[in-house]
Amino acid sequence: MATKPSIGNRRRSPQRPGHPPCRFAVWAPLLAALWIPAAAVAQEPPLPPAERAKLDTFEGVMLDKADKVFAAGDYRRAVSEYDSLILQFPKSKAIPYAIVRKGRSLQNLEKRFEAIKVYEEVLDFFPNEVSYATLALFRIGECHQQNGDVGKALKAWSALADDADYVKEPLGAVALTHLAENLMQQGKPDEGIARYEQIAVDFRGRNPGAAMQAIGRVVPFHVVSQPSLEKTRAFYEKTRTFESSPQPPGESQNTDALFWQRVRETIKQHGRFNDAQKEKRNAVYRYWAEKMEPLFPADDSFQIDVANFHRIHDQNEAAWIRRLDKQFADHQKEGNVARILGWIRLLAARPDKVEEYYRKLDFSKMNTDTIISLVFTLFDIPSERQRATNAFDKVPLADMTDDAKAALLGGLTQRGLHDLVLRTCQSFHDQLRGKLLLLRYLHGRCKAGPAAAQKDFTMALGLSKELAANPATAKEACLIRGNLLQWSGQYQEAIQAYQLADSPPATLYLIADCLKSLGKIEPAVSQLREIENFFKDQSSIAALQVAYLYREAGNRKKYVGELRGVLKKYPQSGQSSEAHQRLEEMGLPIGGGVNAEE
């Protein structure tokens, strides 16, 4: 039998006769994207089918028996069963598998020192069974960690990570992760980051999930924790960019836009510091602002970040504004209105600068879409609402298509610009469409409740009556009118509107609700029964609503009977489960017919 040196200084021994290398392939799909500690993987994988097929009948029967009790969590018995297999079939090809399972059973029984000795048997006698040896070595580290001996755990995982064959196994990434996390926790960031870099580089193709998670730890370290352009770029080239799919990095560091985009994103995402970290904050932002400043001079987004980074470390707003003004002046081309709007948004907190850049606009050369963009830009700045309203006056509503006006309404409605919504709706060439859109808008405002002005309600009610008389808009207008009347407590009038809308089953539910509000429980039940009988996809819902109607009316006997009826008629529905729950809450038996006594 092959033997091994101590952990951390192992050489591969000759393969034991009769045991060809076995790749424990089932780990790959289970751990392909694993980043969480492997201790969270509660179950060991079964023997791969290809290996299982090599066993004779008696070996297979014994192994199946052992695996069955292991899967059932009877680990004490599993130890005995795996032992029996090992003793009766010492030359079985399943021996390393059985030893690992025996060790895991002992580990699950919290007999971790015994488990370690068993796992070491795999390393002693089957070091070339790479997948089993890797798993055993990983579990040894895990046992030491669970025993509170972090030093020995790290020694085991280091041995795994430093073994050229073992580290290629899926668990190699997990072992490296454990190492990196523990090193970081022990205040050894340089060593921890080196291990994360190893994961990112070595597992870029084999375990993309682990590699990307490692990249997510390394990049903020080199960019924010210990800023270094040289180390960030070197890591970027080793990992073939920081993207999820590796690709060749740009040839030149200074012209690689993707590289700098990721650096900037990392600074903005991770460069948050509290008041006590002011010096660190200033150092980080000064470092990157100075590195970036000479690059991409015509790229506004890039140079705006440079200006912002300088502002963070020097707290000099005047210098920030000068940088922005210079960037604008150096690269502005005639007619580039979008760029002016961008600077208005950048300087929104400075009314004097907003005024300065607003005066650069030439409305005679602006198209409708650009004017609308200006309107929304200004409305999004609280101090500029009056200027925004003035700009809206320059929107040529009369020349716009109705589709364009409908799109405009979306932005106006989102910003709560009530008067401008009214003006836009009233400008539609198709007056019927404009009125219907206005009715929908007013309906939404009234639905919000007391915040809506009474004049909105009155206008909406009048519009609904007008549009109800037109066959093209009658159904929707009657439905909205019914809502308005119902919300205002005019239930009988609302019922009439819903009947004209005639859009079952929705209107039948609404009518039932109005009847309930009028205290007419049985007529309301009749409406719900109509839904139950004629709209099969709504049957169980309507039936449960009948039960709730009786509950609200205080009729306990009928409430209980209807709940039992739902159970009987619609046993597979979600409403049946809800009815079951309601009965249990009352402490009542589930059985009984529709009208069963309690």
Which pLDDT tens digits describe the chain residue by residue (598 residues)? Answer: 344 434 444 444 433 333 333 333 333 332 333 333 433 333 567 888 888 888 888 988 999 999 999 999 999 999 999 999 999 999 998 999 999 999 999 999 999 999 999 999 999 999 999 989 999 999 999 999 999 998 898 899 889 988 888 888 878 888 888 889 988 988 999 999 999 999 999 999 888 998 999 999 999 999 999 999 999 999 999 999 999 999 999 999 999 999 999 999 999 999 999 999 999 999 999 999 999 999 999 999 999 999 999 999 999 999 999 999 999 999 999 989 999 999 999 999 999 999 999 999 999 999 999 999 999 999 999 999 999 999 999 999 999 999 999 999 999 999 989 999 999 999 999 999 999 999 999 999 998 766 557 889 999 999 999 999 999 999 999 999 999 999 999 999 999 999 999 999 999 999 999 999 999 999 999 999 999 999 999 999 999 999 999 999 999 999 999 999 999 999 999 999 999 999 999 998 776 444 444 4
**Whether residues 480 and 510 fall in one domain:** no
256 assigned to some structural domain:
yes
Q: What is the distance between the alpha carbons of residues 167 and 176, in angstroms, rounded to a whole number?
A: 8
pLDDT of residue 451: 55
420 assigned to some structural domain:
yes
**Whether residues 453 and 567 fall in one domain:** no
User: Number of structural domains, the chain?
Assistant: 4
Going from the C-alpha of 231 to that of each of 44, 219, 254, the distances in angstroms are 39, 9, 15
pLDDT of residue 450: 61
**Whether residues 465 and 571 fall in one domain:** no
Nearest Cα neighbor of 84 from 107, 68, 65 is: 65
**Whether residues 137 and 4 fall in one domain:** yes
**Whether residues 465 and 522 fall in one domain:** no
**pTM of the full structure:** 0.73
Show the tokens assigned to 127: 């070091």
* Domain harbouring 108, CATH code: 1.25.40.10
Show the tokens assigned to 358: 């607003």
Contact between 18 and 91 under an 8 Å Cβ cutoff? The reply is yes
pLDDT of residue 524: 97
Classify each residue of 105-124 as buried b or exposed e, where b means 16 or more C-beta atoms within 10 Å of its C-beta: bbbbeebbebbbebbbbbbb
93 assigned to some structural domain:
yes
Residue 396's contacts (CB-CB under 8 Å, 6 or more residues apart) are: 368
Domain boundary among 489, 523, 544: 489
Domain boundary among 461, 489, 517: 489
Q: What is the distance between the alpha carbons of residues 425 and 416, in angstroms, rounded to a whole number?
A: 14
Nearest Cα neighbor of 153 from 122, 98, 116, 188 is: 116
Nearest Cα neighbor of 55 from 85, 34, 80, 16 is: 85
88 assigned to some structural domain:
yes
**Whether residues 156 and 206 fall in one domain:** no
**Whether residues 485 and 508 fall in one domain:** no
**Whether residues 24 and 150 fall in one domain:** yes
314 assigned to some structural domain:
no
Domain boundary among 239, 270, 301: 270
**Whether residues 442 and 561 fall in one domain:** no
Helix (H) or strand (E) holding 305: helix 300-314
pLDDT of residue 20: 35
Dihedral of the alpha carbons of 571, 575, 577, 583, in degrees to the nearest 10: -100
350 assigned to some structural domain:
no
Classify each residue of 162-173 as buried b or exposed e, where b means 16 or more C-beta atoms within 10 Å of its C-beta: bbeebbebbbbb
**Whether residues 11 and 148 fall in one domain:** yes
**Whether residues 436 and 532 fall in one domain:** no
C-alpha dihedral sign at 253, 257, 263, 268: positive
Q: What is the distance between the alpha carbons of residues 514 and 520, in angstroms, rounded to a whole number?
A: 9
318 assigned to some structural domain:
no
Boundaries of domain holding 198: 187-270
179 assigned to some structural domain:
no
Burial (Cβ within 10 Å: 0-12, 13-18, ≥19) of residue 216: middle
Contact between 259 and 280 under an 8 Å Cβ cutoff? The reply is no
At 343, the amino acid letter reads W
**Whether residues 158 and 67 fall in one domain:** yes
